[in-house]
């Protein structure tokens, strides 16, 4: 099942594209709902580069949700000004978690169109995980606004 959630962020697209490549951004926008504990390598990179990262996921930092592979790719785009980053991962709870983030200019006033699109395959749990993803990505997009406000100050 596919979930697509998008929003407008009040920051230039190149700034958002720079921030989305940072591990500390993932930790902030996902927290405190989900916590990612690195397994391999032992620490998350400062900047996501293509490759595989293994993590344990904890709901609210406490409840174990299993291990997950984060597989980072930077898909090419032919659209000028568009940036994409993809996590084509999966794990114990969710077999396929194929997450594409697309970032591009929204208007001439410097705002950014930000979209999360995730393809989820988790067997019988798929509808429930899809519902969770709907809330989770809305939470992340809310936290994006908080992050950008924090960096503006």
Q: Work out the pLDDT band at 109, boundaries 50, 70, 90.
A: confident
Total structural domains within the chain: 1
34-73 per-position pLDDT tens digit: 999 999 999 999 999 999 999 999 999 999 999 999 999 9
pTM of the shown model:
0.94
Q: Judge whether 44 lies within some domain.
A: no
Task: Say if 41 falls within a structural domain.
Answer: no
Contact, 100 vs 107, CB < 8 A? no
**Do 68 and 89 meet the contact criterion of CB atoms below 8 Å apart?**
yes
Count Cβ neighbours within 10 Å for each residue of 69-83 and write b for 16 or more, e otherwise: bbbbeeeeeeeeeeb
- Establish if 39 belongs to a structural domain: no
**CATH assignment of the domain containing 131:** 3.30.530.20
Residue 86 counted as domain residue: yes
Expressed as residue numbers, the domain containing 125 is: 2-33+76-152
- Would residue 54 count as lying in a domain? no
Residue 87, in any domain of the structure: yes
* Assigned domain for 53 exists: no
């Amino acid at each position: 099942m596919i979930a697509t959630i998008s929003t407008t962020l009040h920051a230039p697209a190149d700034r958002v594209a720079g921030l989305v490549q940072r591990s500390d951004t993932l930790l902030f926008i996902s927290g405190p709902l989900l916590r990612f504990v690195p397994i391999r390598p032992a620490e998350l990179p400062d900047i996501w580069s293509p490759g595989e990262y293994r993590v344990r996921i904890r709901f609210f930092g406490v409840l174990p949700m299993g291990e997950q592979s984060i597989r980072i790719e930077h898909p090419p785009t032919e659209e000028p000004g568009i940036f994409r980053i993809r996590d084509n991962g999966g794990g114990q709870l969710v077999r396929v978690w194929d997450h594409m983030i697309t970032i591009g200019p929204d208007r001439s006033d410097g705002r950014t169109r930000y979209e999360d699109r995730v393809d989820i395959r988790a067997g019988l749990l798929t509808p429930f995980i899809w519902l969770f993803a709907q809330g989770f990505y809305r939470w992340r997009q809310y936290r994006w606004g908080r992050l950008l406000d924090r960096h503006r100050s």
